[in-house]
Amino acid sequence: MVSDKTNTSSSSLVDTPPNEPEVHPPINRRPTFLDRIMRRQTSPASIEYSESNKKKNAIDENTKSKEGRESSLPPLSQLSLKGYKASTKRRLLDDELANNIRNLLPGRLQLFDEWDLVYSLEQHGVSLNTLYQKSNPDYQLLQLRKNKPEVGYGDSIISSMMSGSVNSMRERRRPQGYVLIIKDENNSKFGCFVNEHLRPMDQKRYYGNGECFLWKSELFTPSPSNSNSEEDISHHSPTPQIRFKAFMYTGINDNIIYSNHDFIAIGSSKGQNGLWIDKSLYNGVSYSCDTFGNEILNSTNADTKIGKFKIMGLELWRVGTLE
């Protein structure tokens, strides 16, 4: 009997599961305001939105900065053309043509509001050597100093110490450019801009850079507008207008400027020049050339292959100061 009780007691211990700790349902803690802010800042959507906002703000700031710089640039001051004598009748350059050319100059030269007449066929005579002499910056600088009012000895010593020799002045002076204007027997105007002064070259070597270009100012008649009757066309015939065209450097070759004691040539390909002037400063010719991809300068006819002309007027203008 004793043993039976013992077995029953032991079996009850095995079958009865042990006491487990009481499990309570999780407590849902209400998130605080700080928790919500932290989750919002660290969520992927908020991060992506924040980054996009940063990029957008950066773009907006760059746009505003660029627009601000452009709007802050002052307009170009009015251009003054210096050098015509009171007795000069045939003046080739006017404000409209000068401004058209000015808009295509390098930015540093557009800022100069005074152009100086270096050489004029009417004022200085017909001579290629004279043109070369007067386009030489050293010669121009000497003439400028001669024409300055005389000063005392002390002032002249101080001035020479500050300015130095002509060669040192050449090294320090501002950049320059030159505008050549030609008028032919048909009253057509054309020419070029060159970044260096014209000079005779002892060897056949081209000079100049990609800032040079050819241009022409041509007179053309616009095509008549559509009309319902021939009578309207006859009473409203188009008025001839002036059209300015420029032909910039193409980069195809480096044959930009070549000049010697016999001629001046601007642009060249296949033995043909965009603009060519002989030593008499009377005969000239214009071809289409690869250097500038230009049209015939003295013709409005697209089918013209060669443009021969007679020079009735020629001027060379300096853009930029000497000192």
Q: Kindly state the average pLDDT of the residues 112-116.
A: 96
Q: pLDDT tens digit string along 134-148?
A: 999 999 999 998 887
What distances in angstroms separate CA 96 from CA 39, 243, 303, one per listed residue? 67, 11, 28
Contact between 307 and 284 (Cβ < 8 Å): no
Q: In terms of pLDDT, which residue wins out, 223 or 107?
A: 107
Q: Kindly state the average pLDDT of the residues 293-310.
A: 92
What distances in angstroms separate CA 228 from CA 233, 235, 238, one per listed residue? 9, 12, 16
Q: In terms of pLDDT, which residue wins out, 37 or 90?
A: 90
Is 50 exceeded by the pLDDT of residue 10? Answer: no
Q: pLDDT tens digit string along 23-82?
A: 555 555 666 655 665 665 555 544 454 555 555 555 555 555 555 554 556 788 999 999
Question: Which residues are registered as beta bridge partners of 182?
Answer: 190, 314
CB-based burial of residue 102 (10 Å sphere; 0-12 exposed, 13-18 middle, 19+ buried)? buried
CA dihedral 260, 262, 265, 268 (to 10 degrees): -90
Q: Kindly state the average pLDDT of the residues 121-131.
A: 97
Q: Which region holds residue 97: left if phi is over 0, alpha if psi is between -120 and 50, else beta?
A: alpha
**Using CA atoms, how far apart are residues 226 and 89, in angstroms rounded to an integer?**
41
Residue 39 C-alpha from the chain's centroid:
54
Instruction: Look at residue 202 in the predicted model and tell me its pLDDT.
Output: 85
First to last CA, the chain: 135
Per the prediction, the chain carries an average pLDDT of 80
Residues 6+ apart with CB under 8 A from 16: none
In which band, very low, low, confident or very high, does the pLDDT at 12 lie, cut at 50, 70 and 90?
Answer: very low
Percent of the chain surpassing pLDDT 90: 55
Is 90 exceeded by the pLDDT of residue 192? Answer: yes
Q: Could you tell me the pTM of the whole model?
A: 0.70
Contact between 43 and 55 (Cβ < 8 Å): no
Q: Tell me, what amino acid is at 137?
A: P
- Of the CA atoms within 13 Å of residue 283, those in its CB half-sphere come to 5
Is 90 exceeded by the pLDDT of residue 252? Answer: yes
In which band, very low, low, confident or very high, does the pLDDT at 302 lie, cut at 50, 70 and 90?
Answer: confident
Is 60 exceeded by the pLDDT of residue 232? Answer: no
Is 50 exceeded by the pLDDT of residue 279? Answer: yes
Q: Kindly state the average pLDDT of the residues 287-300.
A: 96
In which band, very low, low, confident or very high, does the pLDDT at 8 lie, cut at 50, 70 and 90?
Answer: very low
Percent of the chain surpassing pLDDT 70: 65
